[in-house]
Structure 1
Amino acid sequence: MSLYRLLTRYQRFVFGFAILMALAGLVAYSSMARQEDPSFPYRVGILKVVFPGASANQIEKLITEPLEEELAQVEEIKQLETISRDNIAVFTIQLKDRIYATDAAWDRVRRAMERAQREFPDGVSDIELDDRRMDIPTVVLSIMGDDDPIVLADAADEIKQHLLTVPGVSRIEVNGAPEKELVIAADETVLHQLGINRQTIVQHLQQRNALIPGGLINNGDRFIRINTQSDVQELNDLALLPITLPNGQRVPLNALASISIQPREPLAAQTFHNGERAVSLGVITVRGQTDTIAFGEGLRKKLDEIRPMFAPLEIKEAFFQPTYVKARLDGLQ
């Protein structure tokens, strides 16, 4: 029996099957994830080691060579490029193309880093591996409306915690926020009049900020941890820290010095929105089947909820990928 006769004999079945497939296709199209950028395995990472005060030759001998020897034992690594400069070593690590379980591979890289770190000299201040270099933010937000970058950075940290509750958010990167440092500027004239010096203040700070374990109390049913509150947790606590004078009297620290939290010098990379100082949040979605359009709607709803909480600061969209995805899909219809 020819195919034509078979189709004409079972016309109802054929038409019913075709309609069913068309409906299934429409349902699949309406429910499928909508993304502009595909997801790729994390096969590229950047490793940075900071050794302040070391020359490029010292970095090469003390940092780069030990790390290269340990990383050479990680069989998943396809290519390793290193740059040794004054104060810093930078490693670009690329995994082999056949590696899809990249988390396990990066774990082995981290174990190699730990082995090499045992040989590092004292003074190495930072060692960091970024193995998520291929993630692209779906949304970039700018926090602005104040000249003080500390105010913007604090607001960005709070906004980040709110946005992490939005379904589909994987992580949020903060860019342009300065590193903070506590500045205690003592008035030398006042210190001299009271018969003390800066070292006196330093000693009181060390004593007050000591971490003293309080231990546990067993009341029969459970253990209760004792908090000694021996460390300084609030700026106001530090301002009221009593300083003992040679005559036995005590005065609060804020009577002897000004206390503030300021951006650490030199300033880190800064971000601007239309020429105005800002701190940006890069929102990265969960890899895989995330519907970018639905995600954007949920994120904007959350932003509308929290904006009044941070007024007069502004939360502006520097980049909003869901809008572009929707426009392109609408253009296909």
Structure 2
Amino acid sequence: MKKIISYFIKYSVAVNVVILAFVIFGIIGILRMRSSFFPLIDSQIITISVAYPGAAPQEIEEGVILKIEDNLKGLVGIERVTSTSRENGGSVTVEIEQGEDINVILAEVKNAVDRVPSFPTGMEPLVVAKQEAIRQTISFAISGETLDLATLKQIARSIEYDLRAMDGISQIEITGFPEEEIEIAVRENDLLAYGLTFQEVAQAVSRANILTTGGNIKTETEDYLIRANNRAYYGKELTNLIVRANPDGSLIRLSDVAVIRDRFSETPNASYFNGNLAVNVEISNTNNEDLLPTAAKVKDYIEDFNKRYDAVQIDITSDSSIRLEQRTQLLVVNGAEGILLVLLFLSFFLNTRLAFWVAAGIPVAFLGMFIFAGGFGVTINVLSLFGMIIVIGILVDDGIVISENIYQHYEMGKTPIRAAIDGTMEVIPPIISAIIQRFWPFQLSCF
């Protein structure tokens, strides 16, 4: 270490080259660093989603969940398996052990699920996927004094399409309203008048409302894909559905015997903002997305939206970027204050040139850190910023100790180069010990 320090003290050009490299590559590192509220953690959870319309929880447990759990037993790398059974579906959550490759475990879980000999008839295909690690970025409420819930939902869907078109925004969740459904209210008198039964009407809706493929037809020149696409998503699309065709050619349509309308389910699910009905939109970030740019884009969109519309208003209810920006501002202010105080007091008590280089060491040290931070997966988050704020104090303290000791050796009559070498080497061991003690107090206390 003494040879390295002596070399850089004797040859100032090498020091200037290193400082210049730190400045250039450090700035590039800052521009490339992503931001997140907390440090990025890779997902360690695999989910298996089960959809079985019309099934009771016990049927799903016995016919699906238990079979999957039996095949998962014995797989290496799995820490815990939990499951939930409910009406019309269920889920299996697989937690993997720390250090295991989730992509390898995901492939093994899929193979284990495929080895299940049989599933109940009518169950939809299982979905086995890695649970993406997402973190809330910003959320807002859409409300209006005279708007009903259906209109608010339509506006929220339009806003969702606009936001998804922006680069870096992929995770959007809309809440605050029940599920939509198509209600078919059959009139008993009309059923009797046409000689129909309720079962005939239900079967007619089931047969006609389909979305399926029927294979393909190959010719010498072209291939034709056969596809039946007659699924209805709105009530008006079922109005002309044929329930029965009579021998005389007359047709009985669904609208002749039933009232068809779009409505929300009876499950109570509504939210209010400032006393008005509201729809909530929450935007989250994945590990590949940047929190601060995402929040800035959303806030710009909200500001423009509120300028264009009066009947509907968007209000931000939660913004994770505010605390992150405040912590960043605190770091910048602390760093500027530290540099200023070092320049002022060291210039007053020691030497102006010495004070300048001690103060310059603070930003140079941070720029050196930013060069390597991105490669180790470090992001700008509340914890890393807190650590940087602490490190500012350490850099200032250690810089003052080294500079004061160098100046003391210089006052003894040594040459500037010899004073710099001897003064630095004399305090290097205690400085390193102090740094270790700050970050590993438990290990040192064991001695």
Give the TM-score category using the shorter length.
0.7 to 0.9
Give the Å deviation of 1:42. 0.9
CA distance in 1, matches of 2:305, 2:326: 27
The residue that corresponds to 2:198 in the other structure is: 198
Q: Which moved more, 1:125-134 or 1:72-81?
A: 125-134
Q: Which moved more, 1:243-252 or 1:67-76?
A: 243-252
- Does structure 2 retain, via aligned residues, the 8 Å contact 1:139–1:319? yes
Give the Å deviation of 1:123. 6.8
Q: Measured at CA, do residues 134 and 276 of structure 1 come closer, stay the same or move farther in structure 2, by a change above 3 Å?
A: farther
Q: Which has the larger radius of gyration?
A: 2
Which residue identity does 1:74 align to in structure 2? L
- Does structure 1 retain, via aligned residues, the 8 Å contact 2:178–2:267? no
The residue that corresponds to 1:53 in the other structure is: 56
**1:293 matched to 2:296:** no
**1:96 matched to 2:102:** no
Q: Measured at CA, do residues 151 and 132 of structure 1 come closer, stay the same or move farther in structure 2, by a change above 3 Å?
A: farther
1:63-90 Cα distance to aligned partner (Å, 9 max, x none): 4542222111321202234567898766
Which residue identity does 2:72 align to in structure 1? L
CA distance in 1, matches of 2:282, 2:205: 38
Q: Measured at CA, do residues 254 and 129 of structure 1 come closer, stay the same or move farther in structure 2, by a change above 3 Å?
A: same
3-state SS of 1:137 partner: strand
3-state SS of 1:166 partner: coil
Structure 1: unaligned runs, 5 residues or longer: none
Give the Å deviation of 1:244. 5.3
1:259-284 Cα distance to aligned partner (Å, 9 max, x none): 112233445x6555456544433323
CA distance in 2, matches of 1:226, 1:88: 30
Give the Å deviation of 1:125. 7.2
The equivalences for 1:145-164 within 5 A come to 145=144, 149-164=149-164
Give the Å deviation of 1:313. 4.5
Give the Å deviation of 1:296. 2.0
Q: Measured at CA, do residues 113 and 157 of structure 1 come closer, stay the same or move farther in structure 2, by a change above 3 Å?
A: farther
CA distance in 1, matches of 2:147, 2:202: 31
The equivalences for 1:224-263 within 5 A come to 225=225, 232=232, 235-241=235-241, 249-250=250-251, 253-263=254-264
3-state SS of 1:39 partner: coil
- Does structure 2 retain, via aligned residues, the 8 Å contact 1:153–1:279? yes
1:171-191 Cα distance to aligned partner (Å, 9 max, x none): 333444533322111222344
3-state SS of 1:74 partner: coil
Q: Measured at CA, do residues 142 and 163 of structure 1 come closer, stay the same or move farther in structure 2, by a change above 3 Å?
A: same
The residue that corresponds to 1:320 in the other structure is: 319
Give the Å deviation of 1:309. 9.1
Which residue identity does 2:42 align to in structure 1? P
The equivalences for 1:87-166 within 5 A come to 91-99=92-100, 101-116=101-116, 118-122=117-121, 131-132=130-131, 134-145=133-144, 149-166=149-166
CA distance in 1, matches of 2:8, 2:27: 24
The residue that corresponds to 2:26 in the other structure is: 25
Q: Measured at CA, do residues 176 and 126 of structure 1 come closer, stay the same or move farther in structure 2, by a change above 3 Å?
A: farther
- Does structure 1 retain, via aligned residues, the 8 Å contact 2:183–2:235? no
Q: Measured at CA, do residues 295 and 85 of structure 1 come closer, stay the same or move farther in structure 2, by a change above 3 Å?
A: closer
Q: CA RMSD of the aligned region, Å?
A: 4.3
The residue that corresponds to 1:185 in the other structure is: 185
The residue that corresponds to 1:41 in the other structure is: 42
3-state SS of 1:138 partner: strand
Give the Å deviation of 1:238. 1.7
Give the Å deviation of 1:27. 4.6
The residue that corresponds to 1:77 in the other structure is: 78
Which residue identity does 1:79 align to in structure 2? R
- Does structure 1 retain, via aligned residues, the 8 Å contact 2:236–2:261? no
- Does structure 2 retain, via aligned residues, the 8 Å contact 1:195–1:245? no
Q: Which moved more, 1:192-201 or 1:134-143?
A: 192-201
Q: Which moved more, 1:129-138 or 1:84-93?
A: 84-93
CA distance in 2, matches of 1:46, 1:73: 18
Give the Å deviation of 1:95. 0.6
CA distance in 1, matches of 2:29, 2:149: 47
Structure 2: unaligned runs, 5 residues or longer: 333-447
3-state SS of 1:322 partner: helix
In percent, how many aligned pairs have the same letter?
A: 19
CA distance in 1, matches of 2:203, 2:5: 97
- Does structure 2 retain, via aligned residues, the 8 Å contact 1:239–1:252? yes
**1:66 matched to 2:67:** yes
CA distance in 2, matches of 1:6, 1:79: 56
- Does structure 2 retain, via aligned residues, the 8 Å contact 1:81–1:93? yes
Greater per-residue strand proportion: 1
1:106-165 Cα distance to aligned partner (Å, 9 max, x none): 23223323434x444457679666742642222223344477545444444443333222
- Does structure 2 retain, via aligned residues, the 8 Å contact 1:194–1:245? no
- Does structure 2 retain, via aligned residues, the 8 Å contact 1:150–1:178? no
3-state SS of 2:136 partner: coil
CA distance in 2, matches of 1:129, 1:142: 33
3-state SS of 2:115 partner: helix
